[in-house]
Amino acid sequence: MSLPRELPDPFLPPTPAQTEAVDAALLTRRSMRAFLPNAVPRRLIEELLLVASRAPSGTNTQPWQVHVLTGAAKERLSSRIQAVYADPEQLAQHTEEYAYYPSQWVSPYVDRRRKVGWDLYGLLGIAKGDKFRMQAQHARNFDFFDAPVGLVFTIDRVMAQGSWLDYGMFLQSIMVAARARGLHTCAQAAFTQFHRIIADELQLPAEHMVVCGMSLGWADPQAVENQLVTERAAVAEFTHFRSE
């Protein structure tokens, strides 16, 4: 699959319908944690990855590598991780290769983190202190929340911090392109703890590092966890205008 010979003219003003479509894809993107079993055609996956590949990257380095897992391949990876996750002794031997979160939390970030966690658990009827059900819910990450497609993203270890910024834009582009096609996603840093299992299962070259995973598929509209809508700070809280 390749891009059209003639890309859309970037200098033409967008129509109201085009603006509305882009806004809708952005505003309806959220992390879904329950998916229908309906398969996603390979051509559709290739199409959204093709569109997302137009994401910007410094000097056009395009630092992303995508591993698409479906069927038995996805089940094998999930089974291996679940077996380790269920065994405390084995689990203790697996740690993240890079720090996704800060080592010391401060407000307002820790408050937002706690709120989204308790909002999700509240929807699921998981009470504070119910560690068994919390762990069971976290374990669903490793089944890609039953999505028919699991994506694993890797980056060459030689690439530096700027390329990770580029990678974030690529991930966002995938999620927005997915929404434009009626699909939903959930980006998952949880997989990074099991980078050694992933590297072995996918036969990754030593120079490749796991960035994250992502669930992709048709969201289950009846699943209560999919009703979670996280809050966002007002524009005035994070924007600083300067004119002089």
119 domain-assigned = yes
The answer, yes or no, to whether residue 5 has pLDDT greater than 70, is no
What percentage of the chain exceeds 90 in pLDDT? 95
Query: Which amino acid, one-letter code, is at 43?
Result: R
8 domain-assigned = no
22 domain-assigned = no
Q: Convert the pLDDT of each residue in 203-237 to its tens digit.
A: 999 999 999 999 999 999 999 999 999 999 999 99
209 domain-assigned = yes
Contacts of residue 132, defined as CB under 8 A and 6 or more positions apart, other chains included, come to none
156 domain-assigned = yes
The answer, yes or no, to whether residue 7 has pLDDT greater than 70, is yes
d(CA 125, CA 133): 9
10 domain-assigned = no
Average pLDDT, the chain: 96
Domain that holds residue 181: 29-230
Q: Convert the pLDDT of each residue in 87-143 to its tens digit.
A: 999 999 999 999 999 999 999 999 999 999 999 999 999 999 999 999 999 999 999
Look at the chain and report how many structural domains it folds into. 1
21 domain-assigned = no
CATH number at residue 195: 3.40.109.10
**Residue 57: strand pairing partners:** none
The answer, yes or no, to whether residue 40 has pLDDT greater than 70, is yes
Quickly tell me which residue has 């998952």 as its tokens: 188
241 domain-assigned = no
Q: What's this model's pTM, rounded to 2 decimal places?
A: 0.95
Which pLDDT score is estimated for 198?
Answer: 98
